[in-house]
A and B are shown apart, each in its own frame.
Chain A
Amino acid sequence: MQKITREQLIAKASELLSNGTVSQVLGWGKGEFDYDVTPTLFSSAEELENGFVFNDFCGANFSKYLVSKAAKADGKLLVFLKPCDTYSFNQLLTEHRFDREKVYAVGIPCEGMADISKVKAISGDGIASINADGDNLVVTTLYEDAPITIATKDVLAERCINCKSKKHVAYDELMGEEGEVLASNRFDEVARLEAMTADERFAFWQNELSRCIRCNACRDACPACTCEKCVFDNPNSGVENKSPANEFEEKLFHIIRAYHVAGRCTDCGECSRVCPQNIPLHLLNRKFIKDINEFYGEYQAGEEVDSRAPLVNYTTEDLEPGEVFDRGDNNA
């Protein structure tokens, strides 16, 4: 159950619309189903009342939308940001991807979002409605007569179980109480993969990545993937492709993408959230983050604007490539 309610958010948005602070609101819009929430632009209190939702499925990180939407808005654009979204927000500012002056950011608290595939694993398919009731979700389906009650904490998304921060690192206005940066266990799974032999690890990723249907959802949702022209769409890049034509393609797409966002990925987890094949893509990014932390000292992308990421910085203390090789040991 979220601490902030839909009504509070609508009231805030309507107020900012009516006093002229903002001209549009980037919020979560009603979709086909209760769990199917879509980023939507609202221009009036009426539209908000009709279409705005806020529930345990509002995982979408709006930061990326600012790149295309902020420039087009007449006045300022109101955006609601959960703590993890604010890191992407800062990272995009660092990369000069949108005009800060065109955005009015409202930080909102987040209690963690639900993962619909975990819900379906319990309730089965054919979900007709999902409603929050205290710490539970009440699910009705087409196939079951009685509503099914599921504890929200049992269906939290992986990124929310391992939430790295409840603190907002950027906002113009904050609703609710500010949280803290958390000590999460988000690198445990990476460490488990690192402990595998090279063959085991290859088999693990082979298994995961072979499911890829190359829908590009991970790229399209990723706030670090905002290139004017993506290398995968560029016939001159040498890696342009639109289908997982072979084993090489399906692996290389994800590895190239992980390299492209390395040092810029804030670990918001959107890639894994949107993957229709449930590939744990966040693990690739976290491996990079873990390595950067270990090689160059703790670094959190997006923690502050204009920070020099270790991968685009040079100091005489930087480690030598040989040290990375040595560290690989037999598992390299």
Chain B
Amino acid sequence: MQRVGVFVCWCGSNIAGTVDVKAVAEALKNEPGVVFSTDYQYMCSQAGQDMIINAVKEHNLTGIVVCSCSPRMHEATFRKTAAAAGLNPYMVEIANIREQCSWVHKDMALGTEKAIILGKAAVAKVNLNAPLTPGQSPVTKRALVIGGGIAGIQTALDIADAGFEVDIVEKKPTIGGKMAQLDKTFPTLDCAACILTPKMVDVAQNDKIRIFSYSEVAEVKGFVGNFDVTIKKNARYVKEDICTGCGACVEKCPMKKNPNEFNLGMDNRPAIYIPFAQAVPKVATIDPNACNMLKNGKCGVCARICTAGAIDYTQKDEYIEEKYGAIVVATGFNPISMDKFDEFAYNQSKDVITSLEFERLTNAAGPTAGHLERPSDGRSPKTIVFVQCVGSRCDACAEKGKEYCSKICCMYTAKHAMLVRDKYPETEVYVFYIDVRTPGKNFDEFYRRAVEEYGVKYVKGMVGKVVPEGDKLKVQASDLLANKQLHIDADLVVLAAAIEPDKSARPLATMLTASMDTNDFFTEAHPKLRPVESPTAGVFLSGACQGPKDIPETVSQASAAAAKVIGLLAKDKLTGNPCIAHSDELMCNGCSSCANVCPYGAITYEDKEFRMPDRTTKVRRVASVNPAVCQGCGACTVACPSGAMDLKGFANLQIMAEVDAICK
């Protein structure tokens, strides 16, 4: 039996508001093993911790129960306190009477009753606790960045700058991501390419950074400090190391009519292509669905024209296995599909476009060489209607759009409107909005300039319908401030489509065992205090994969993620979690159930000789757990039919004792 001290925290009024903390401390005094019980306003404060240390010494405590907030919050704090008092840190149990009790109850009597029960369970458990010592595991000093947009690029550059190796895996043939497709950037109106491409070149030239373009992550095993990742390098049918990016093949390829993804299908590219002039790596890629040679075995023009001999029609997908200490997710975003928004006639008229398509239309490297022309007939539009919040902030229509604000649309729409009025002052520009949201440095000034200096007509209200009629787009909208219906004959309608996480994020999250919210954005370890870490140790978040973000915010977060990675990679050893599984060899059947369910591959089998009671020996197949690999998830303990597998710190007996204490 332990000598247990119970410390009940008020957490100001957070707990004390709905739980009678004095009654809890009093009730727990009578539990088996408890020799001391008290309450205090803030247990986590220095005074509170000192109270624990003094009590340990005064009452010779061997176990500590803190009734406070979630162990995710302060378990580590109180373990340190225990260590400072000379106890093993794992002799501490937390009863969560805040998140799981005071915060969810309104009735003081019921809240108090539940807090006492939770406290009893923790006392029952700590009575069976044993001192534990954590092991250590080495750190592979290399990081993997998944996604080569501005987020991934910035993270990789920062990590490399600290002297660590970084690999970028990008599924497109080039890095650059969405930013490479943009024209100008708010709020300074400098050109996106001018500030992005030097960074892309930096990445290419940095000897600490390797780029796996046209590749994806196929498998992730292992754990923080020791990830084993399989990267699938898709066949691009061009030898990357030989291709000089001269572009002769692109010019001569006869299969020219394939929608150009980089320009969002607004023009065509050949079957062999380089996405854009500043692509990194500047290497051609053959689209296997378009290439006549790959489909029918006829053609071969590119191979003949290539003086370097880089074309290889027999190239196969390649799988590369690599070890990493940390993984950064930077999978980014995409505009949502406009298929469900028939009211805006996106699928009926070529002149209804999304904002990203508008970026390409005004981009000097775009399909119109930067001239603002209507996609249908090439004429210059005289009246342009911008519609904001298309699919964003949809509360009633969650099936159609998204409930969240996409955050970037207000600003880029102001930018688009301003650019049009700047280059084509005779064009009438309307912007329909629900609210204009401009919280950011120099953002509101930027928007006001659009209205005040550039004469963009901002209308509070939504567009109800767009009907193509002749060569016009009849726009029906409401002006909520003037309280009237508007009918505008527009030449071009631009939809600020909501953004969503890239589709590759969900399967990746499964591979990484990283959690996601209902919108498939990655969840942070803590929304305020650990915003760039995933709850899965060693997995970090960079950019829009975590939530909608503009470029400045993405870059800050990318650097923040890099700082976290550097902090991890700078360590030579990681102190592990001692709460790991172990197998009782005398009870193990060797059935492999535990190995089958282990997500970390921590369990192996060996044939071991045992002395039997009758002095004979018997060779039996038994499980053994690799303590460096085990993460203590406990899946094996549940799968084990004989109960040979058990988790240190969360032993079956301890859990049963907790259940018994609750049910008593």
Contact = CB atoms under 8 A, between A and B. Distances in A.
Interface of A: 71, 94-97, 226-231, 234, 236-238, 260-261, 264, 308, 311-314, 316
Contact of A238 (B596, B597, B620, B653): B653
Considering residues A97, A230, A236, A261, which has the most beta carbons from chain B within 10 angstroms of its beta carbon? Answer: A236
Interface string B585-626: 011111111001100000001000000000000101100000
B604 to A, nearest CB: 13
Contact of B653 (A227, A228, A236, A308): A236
B587 A312 contact: no
Contact of B592 (A96, A227, A229): A96
A312 B596 contact: yes
A227 B596 contact: no
B592 A230 contact: no
B639 interface: yes
B589 A228 contact: yes
Nearest to B597: A312
Contact of B618 (A71, A238, A313): A71
B596 A97 contact: no
A228 B639 contact: no
A41 to B, nearest CB: 18
A237 B596 CA distance: 23
A228 B593 contact: no
B621 A96 contact: yes
A231 B642 contact: yes
Taking chain B's interface residues, is the majority helix, strand, or loop, or is none over half, making it mixed?
mixed
Interface in B355-398: none
Nearest to A264: B641
A300 B373 CA distance: 64
Nearest to B599: A314
A312 B621 contact: no
Contacts of A234: 587, 643
Given A308-B596, A312-B596, A95 B589 contact: yes
B608 to A, nearest CB: 12
Interface in B177-231: none
Nearest to B622: A228
Given A228-B587, A238-B653, A312 B643 contact: no
Contacts of A230: 642
B511 to A, nearest CB: 11
Contacts of A237: 643, 652
B510 A316 contact: yes
A97 B596 CA distance: 16
B656 interface: yes
B641 A227 contact: yes
B642 A238 contact: no
A260 B638 CA distance: 10
Given A71-B618, A236-B653, A238-B652, A95 B642 contact: no
A311 B596 CA distance: 10
Nearest to B651: A236
A260 B641 contact: yes
A226 B587 CA distance: 11
B653 A229 contact: no
B532 to A, nearest CB: 26
A227 B590 CA distance: 9
Contact of B589 (A227, A238, A308, A312): A227
Contact of A226 (B589, B644, B653, B656): B589
Contacts of B590: 95-97
A238 B644 CA distance: 13
Given A228-B586, A238-B653, A312-B597, A95 B591 contact: yes
Interface string B504-519: 0001001000000000
Contacts of B656: 238
A229 B596 contact: no
Interface in B611-664: 618, 620-621, 639, 641-644, 652-653, 656
Centre residue among A237, A264, A313, A316 by max chain B CB count within 10 A? A237
A97 B589 contact: yes
A83 B103 CA distance: 59
A229 B586 contact: yes
A312 B642 CA distance: 15
A280 to B, nearest CB: 23
A237 B641 CA distance: 12
Interface in B577-591: 586-591
A231 B656 CA distance: 14
Contact of A313 (B587, B596, B641, B642): B596
Nearest to A236: B653
A231 B643 contact: yes
Contacts of B507: 316
Given A94-B592, A316-B507, 8 more contacts: A71-B618, A97-B591, A228-B587, A228-B642, A229-B587, A230-B642, A231-B642, A313-B597
A227 B593 contact: no
10 contacts: A96-B591, A228-B642, A229-B587, A230-B642, A234-B643, A236-B653, A237-B652, A238-B652, A308-B596, A312-B597
Nearest to B657: A238
A249 B543 CA distance: 56
Contact of A312 (B510, B593, B653): B593
A199 to B, nearest CB: 23
Contacts of A236: 643, 653
Given A236-B653, A238-B653, A312-B596, A229 B591 contact: no
Nearest to A260: B641
A316 B596 CA distance: 16
Contacts of A229: 586-587, 642, 644
Interface in B495-510: 507, 510
Contacts of A231: 642-643
Contact of B587 (A94, A227, A316): A227
Contacts of A314: 597
Contacts of B620: 228
B513 to A, nearest CB: 11
A133 B588 CA distance: 48
Contacts of A260: 641
Contacts of B605: 96
A193 to B, nearest CB: 25
Given A238-B653, A312-B597, A95 B643 contact: no
Nearest to B656: A238
A227 B586 CA distance: 10
A96 to B, nearest CB: 5
A110 to B, nearest CB: 27
A226 B593 CA distance: 14
Contacts of A311: 639
Interface in B232-281: none
A164 to B, nearest CB: 23
A104 B597 CA distance: 31
A231 B593 CA distance: 16
Nearest to A312: B596
Contacts of A238: 652-653, 656
A96 B592 CA distance: 8
Contacts of B589: 95, 97, 226-228
A245 B656 CA distance: 20
A29 B620 CA distance: 29
Interface in B77-99: none
A322 B452 CA distance: 55
A227 B507 CA distance: 37
B639 A312 contact: yes
B134 to A, nearest CB: 25
Which 7 residue pairs of A and B lie closest in terms of their CB atoms, listed nearest first? A95-B591, A227-B642, A312-B596, A229-B587, A238-B656, A96-B590, A312-B597
Contacts of A308: 596
A229 B587 CA distance: 5
